[in-house]
A and B are shown apart, each in its own frame.
Chain A
Amino acid sequence: MSTLVDTELSGTRGLVRVALRLDRWRTVVWAVAVAGLTQVSVSAITELYSTPESRAGRAQLISSPAATALAGPGYGLDDYTVGAMTANELGLWIMVPVGIMALLTVTRHLRAAEEDGRLELVRSAPVGRDAPVVAGLAAAVVATLAVGVLTFLALLTTELDAVGSAALVGGVVMVGLVFAGVSAVTSQLTAHGRTASSLAMAVLGVAFLLRAVGDVRGPESTSVLTWLSPFGWAQATRAYVDERFWPLAIGVVAAALLVGGAFWLAGRRDLGTGLLAERLGRPRATDRLTGMFALTLRRQLGAIVSWGAGIVLSGALIGLLAGELVDYVDDEPQLAQMFPDGPGGVIASAFALYTVFLAVMAAAYASTAVGAARSEELVTRGALVLAGPVSRTRWLGSQVGLAGLAAAVIMLLTGLVMGLTANASLGSDGHLAELVGASAVTLPAIGCVLGLAVVVLGVAPRAFGLVWAYVTYVGVVGLFGGLLPDGSDVLSPFTYTPQLPAEAMDWPPVLLLTVAAAALISAGLAAFRRRDVVG
C-alpha cells in the first residue's frame, strides 16, 4: 500500500478510506433524504397539477418576480409540463442543500480535523501535504455522487424522462462539486472550521442572489448575473424542456480551477494556520458583557441573527406572494369553488399554514439554543461557569430564557413584516394586526417545544437527538397534517393552536399551552438541578 516514491500525495488512499468510512452514515442519510423528498415532491406536483389548465395557471403565478427569485429561469412556461415545473421550481431546492452538504463535508475533513489536532497526527505519518485535501474532496465528491445517483433513480420511478432527469441531476452534482471546491479554498484562508464553512456559505448565498436577481431581470438565463452563479449554470440545462449539457462543463471547469487554487494555497501556508490572519479581540470586556444573559447573547447572537433573518425574510416573501395568489384564484373559477369564502378564504388558509411553518422554524431555533447549552456542558465551559457563584437555574435559565425571548421576537417581527408586505401586495391595510396576532398566538406552542427540549436536557441529556426528531415531526404534521392519517398530529402543540387568520381566536387552548410550556420548562430546570453535570 505504500508507494515507492514519496510525494505530496503519499498516503492519499488510506486517508480517503478513513474519510469515506467516517462519512458513510451521513452520506446515506443525505442521499435517502434528498432522493426521497424529490420523489415525493414530483409525485405531489404530478397529482396536484394534473390538467394543462392548472399548470398554465401555475406558470403564470410562478412568472412573477417574487416567485421567480425562489424558482428558476422559467424555461417551458408556455407549455408548462410537470417536468418543466420540476426543473423550474424544485431544482433549486435540491441544489441548495446538496451544495451545503458538499461544503460542510470539505470543511469538516480539512479544517475541523486540522483545528483539533487530528491532522497533525496524520501528517506526521508518511502522508503528503496534499493528501488530506484530496481525501476531504474525495469524501465530498463521493457524497455528492451518491446523492445524485439515488436522486436520478428516484426520478426514474416518476413519469419524468431519463434525459431531462440526467440534466437536472447533472446540475445538482455540478453545484455540489463547485461548492466543494469553494470550501476547499475557504479552508485554506482561515484557521477555523466554523469560519471556513461560514465563508463558503456566504459564497453560496451570493451565488443564490446573483441567480435570483439575474432571473428576475432576464428570464430564460438571458442576464449576465445568472451566468455568474453555479445555480444559473445548473438551471441553464433546460431540463425536461430542450436539454443541453454544455452549461455543466462551466461548473466542472470552475470546480477544477477552485481545487487547483486550493492546492496552490495549501502549499503556501503552515499547518494550523490560515492565510487570513486571525483578528484580535478586546483585551478586556466592555461593561455590557456582564452576567449570564449577556454571555449567552454574545454566544448566540450569530445564530439568532441568521435564523431570524431566514424566518423574517420567508415571512416577507409569503406576504409579497399573497397578491399573486389572489390573481391566480381569480383566474381559476374551479379553484375558487373549492373555497366557499372566495379568494379571501384562500389567502387566510395560506397565511395560517405558513405562519405555523414559520413558527416551527422559530421552535427549531429555540431547540438549537438548548442544544447549545448541552454543548457548553459537554465541552466543560458549563463547569467553568458553574464553579463560580452561579446556580444551575441561573445558568440554564438564562440560556432558555434567551432562546424563548429570541424566538418570540423573531416570530413577532415575522408577523409584522408579513403583515406589511401582505398589505402592500394585496392593496389593503387589514393584514398587519391580523398577521401579528396570528404569529403571537403560536408563541405558547413554540414554548412547549422549547420546554420539551429543556426536559430532555434535564432528564436524559444523552438522548438530545430525540428533540430533533420531535421538531421534524412537528414540522411534518404542521405542513402536511391534512394528508396524514387522522390522529397523527396529536403530539404537536401546533395542532391545538387556533389557525389564525383562517379560524377564530380561541383562548382556552392557548392558555392551556402557555401553562404546559411553563410547566415543561420548570420541570426541565428542576431536573437539571438534580442531576450530575457531565463533561
Chain B
Amino acid sequence: MTENAIAVSGLVKSFGAKRALDGFDLTVRTGEVHGFLGPNGAGKSTTIRVLLGLLRADAGDVRLLGGDPWRDAVALHRRLAYVPGEVNLWPNLSGGESIDVLGRLRGGLDPARRDALVERFELDPRIKGRAYSKGNRQKVALVAALAADVELLLMDEPTSGLDPLMEAVFQQVVQEAAADGRTVLLSSHILAEVEALCRRVTIIRQGRAVQSGSLEELRSLTRTTVTAGLRDADEAERTLATLDGVHHVQRDDGHLTVDVDTASLNDVLARLTGFGVRSLTAHPPTLEDLFLREYSDELATLGVEGSR
C-alpha cells in the first residue's frame, strides 16, 4: 500500500516540436478525489494517456499505484478504470453489449452494480453504438468504468456531454466511489463540478503544474473580497489604502469593496469596526477566481477583463 496513488514529477512529453508536457508534477493521494484543471490543449489528456501507458514519457518519473504505467500496464489496469472525454463505441454493438464486453475483458462486472448504474444514468442499453448521442456514449463508458471493482478511476472530462440532471447523478456516484475508498483523478473544465467533488486540485498550464494543493491552501494563497457598508466610508478608504495586503479599493457611496490577502484579513476586519460597520459581506475566492488568476495574462490577450 503506497500513500500516493499517483506520483508524477518532471514529466516531459513532446509530439514533434510541440512540448505537450514540460516538467509536469502531480501528486494524487490514495483515497482522494483530485481535480485536474486546465483549458483545452494544456496537457490534461496527454497526462492521463501517459498514466494509462498509452503514451511513453520522454523524461520524468511516473508512478501509478506503486508501479510503472508503461512497463506494468496490464497489471495496473486491473486496478483502475478509465473514462475518456470523447467516447466512440462499436457501431454494431448495443450499449449494454459494449459495457459487458469491456467488463469481461477485465474478468467480469458485478451485474447488480452494472444494472443499478444503467438505471441511475437512465441509459437505454439496447440502442446500437452508432445511434447514441454523445452524452449517451459517455454514459456507457461511465457505467463500464464505475461498475468495475477498481481502486483508481481516471476520468478525462467525463461529463462534457451530460445534461445537468445527469451531472448531478455523476457527482453523487463519484462521492459514493470516494466513500468506498476509491481514488479519483477528475480532469475537467467544469469548475463547479471540481469544487463540489474535490478537496485537492492541480491546475495545469502549457504542460506545467502552476498550482497544486488543497482548495483551502489555494484559497489562502489568494484574496478574500470584503464589502462593507460604513458610516465613515471616506476615512475608511484613506486608511485601508495605506495597509499592506489590501488591493483594489473601490468606493460606491457608503460601500467600500476591497480585496484582502489572507494574512491581512484579521487586521483589516479589526480596523473596519472603527468606521461604523452597517453591513458586511465577504467571499472567499471561488475556484473560478483561482483558475482565472492563473490564466489572467491569457485572458488579457483575449481582451477579456481579468478577475481580481
A187 → chain B, closest Cβ, in Å? 15
Contact B88 A283 (CB under 8 A): no
A478 → chain B, closest Cβ, in Å? 33
B136-171 to A contact mask, C-beta < 8 Å, 1/0:
000001000000000000100000000000000000
B residues near A388, Cβ cutoff 8 Å: 77, 81-82, 102, 105-106
**Any chain B CB within 8 A of the CB of A390?**
yes
Contact B52 A387 (CB under 8 A): yes
**Any chain B CB within 8 A of the CB of A386?**
yes
Contact B77 A281 (CB under 8 A): no
Q: What count of chain B residues pass the 8 Å CB interface test?
A: 42
Contact A299 B90 (CB under 8 A): yes
B107 nearest in chain A by CB position: A389
Contact B90 A284 (CB under 8 A): no
Contact A281 B75 (CB under 8 A): no
**Any chain A CB within 8 A of the CB of B74?**
yes
Q: Name the interface residues of B78-132: CB closer than 8 Å to any CB of A.
A: 78, 80-82, 84, 86-97, 99-102, 104-107, 125-128, 130-131
Contact A282 B94 (CB under 8 A): yes
**Any chain A CB within 8 A of the CB of B49?**
yes
A390-405 to B contact mask, C-beta < 8 Å, 1/0:
1110000000000000
- The CA of A380 and the CA of B93, in the complex, are separated in Å by 16
A191 nearest in chain B by CB position: B131
**Any chain A CB within 8 A of the CB of B218?**
no
- The CA of A191 and the CA of B73, in the complex, are separated in Å by 39
- The CA of A280 and the CA of B128, in the complex, are separated in Å by 7
- The CA of A429 and the CA of B269, in the complex, are separated in Å by 106
**Any chain B CB within 8 A of the CB of A29?**
no
Given A380-B84, A380-B88, are A281 and B94 neighbors across the interface (CB < 8 Å)? yes
Contact B78 A389 (CB under 8 A): yes
Contact B86 A380 (CB under 8 A): yes
| Other-chain residue from A192, A281, A290 in contact with B93 (beta carbon distance below 8 A) | A281
Contact B78 A384 (CB under 8 A): no
A522 → chain B, closest Cβ, in Å? 19
| Other-chain residue from A282, A289, A387 in contact with B77 (beta carbon distance below 8 A) | A387
- The CA of A390 and the CA of B77, in the complex, are separated in Å by 8
Contact B101 A383 (CB under 8 A): no
B53 nearest in chain A by CB position: A386
B residues near A532, Cβ cutoff 8 Å: 54-56
Contact A291 B97 (CB under 8 A): no
Please indicate which of the listed interface residues B52, B93, B94, B105 has the most CB atoms of chain A within 10 Å of its own CB. Answer: B105
Contact A533 B54 (CB under 8 A): yes
**Any chain B CB within 8 A of the CB of A505?**
no
A residues near B81, Cβ cutoff 8 Å: 387-388
Q: What count of chain A residues pass the 8 Å CB interface test?
A: 38
- The CA of A294 and the CA of B105, in the complex, are separated in Å by 11
A residues near B154, Cβ cutoff 8 Å: 387
Please indicate which of the listed interface residues B87, B97, B99 has the most CB atoms of chain A within 10 Å of its own CB. Answer: B97
B residues near A385, Cβ cutoff 8 Å: 102, 105
A residues near B75, Cβ cutoff 8 Å: 389
| Other-chain residue from B87, B92, B97 in contact with A284 (beta carbon distance below 8 A) | B97
Majority DSSP secondary structure for residues of A touching B: loop
Contact A278 B131 (CB under 8 A): yes
- The CA of A283 and the CA of B99, in the complex, are separated in Å by 10
Q: Name the interface residues of A290-310: CB closer than 8 Å to any CB of B.
A: 290-292, 294-295, 298-299, 302
A89 → chain B, closest Cβ, in Å? 38
B residues near A283, Cβ cutoff 8 Å: 94, 96, 125-126
Q: Name the interface residues of B36-88: CB closer than 8 Å to any CB of A.
A: 49, 52, 54-56, 73-75, 77-78, 80-82, 84, 86-88
B112 → chain A, closest Cβ, in Å? 13
| Other-chain residue from A115, A280, A299, A386 in contact with B92 (beta carbon distance below 8 A) | A299
Please indicate which of the listed interface residues A280, A381, A388, A532 has the most CB atoms of chain B within 10 Å of its own CB. Answer: A388
B residues near A123, Cβ cutoff 8 Å: none
Contact B49 A289 (CB under 8 A): no
B239 → chain A, closest Cβ, in Å? 57
Contact A384 B141 (CB under 8 A): yes
B74 → chain A, closest Cβ, in Å? 5
Contact B105 A289 (CB under 8 A): no
A residues near B96, Cβ cutoff 8 Å: 281-285
Contact B127 A285 (CB under 8 A): no
| Other-chain residue from B54, B78, B80, B130 in contact with A383 (beta carbon distance below 8 A) | B54
Given A281-B126, A295-B101, A389-B75, are A192 and B91 neighbors across the interface (CB < 8 Å)? yes
B residues near A295, Cβ cutoff 8 Å: 90, 101, 105
A368 → chain B, closest Cβ, in Å? 16
A80 → chain B, closest Cβ, in Å? 48
Given A387-B82, A388-B102, A389-B106, are A282 and B88 neighbors across the interface (CB < 8 Å)? no
Please indicate which of the listed interface residues A281, A387, A389, A533 has the most CB atoms of chain B within 10 Å of its own CB. Answer: A387
B residues near A249, Cβ cutoff 8 Å: none
A residues near B80, Cβ cutoff 8 Å: 387
- The CA of A383 and the CA of B126, in the complex, are separated in Å by 23
**Any chain B CB within 8 A of the CB of A217?**
no
A residues near B92, Cβ cutoff 8 Å: 298-299, 302
B133 nearest in chain A by CB position: A272
- The CA of A531 and the CA of B49, in the complex, are separated in Å by 13
A281 → chain B, closest Cβ, in Å? 3
Please indicate which of the listed interface residues B77, B86, B88, B125 has the most CB atoms of chain A within 10 Å of its own CB. Answer: B88
Contact A285 B54 (CB under 8 A): no
**Any chain B CB within 8 A of the CB of A194?**
yes
A236-259 to B contact mask, C-beta < 8 Å, 1/0:
000000000000000000000000
Top 6 closest A-B pairs, CB basis?
Answer: A281-B94, A285-B100, A387-B82, A280-B126, A533-B54, A285-B97
Show 17 A/B contacts (Cβ-Cβ < 8 Å), sorted by A.
Answer: A281-B95, A281-B126, A282-B126, A289-B104, A290-B101, A290-B104, A298-B92, A299-B90, A380-B84, A380-B87, A381-B90, A383-B52, A386-B54, A387-B82, A388-B102, A389-B78, A533-B55
Task: Report which B residues bind A (CB closer than 8 A).
Answer: 49, 52, 54-56, 73-75, 77-78, 80-82, 84, 86-97, 99-102, 104-107, 125-128, 130-131, 141, 154
Starting from the known contacts A281-B93, A298-B92, A387-B52, 20 additional A-B residue pairs (CB-CB under 8 Å) come to A115-B130, A192-B131, A194-B91, A281-B96, A282-B96, A283-B125, A283-B126, A285-B100, A285-B101, A289-B100, A290-B104, A298-B93, A380-B87, A381-B90, A385-B102, A387-B80, A388-B105, A389-B74, A389-B105, A532-B54
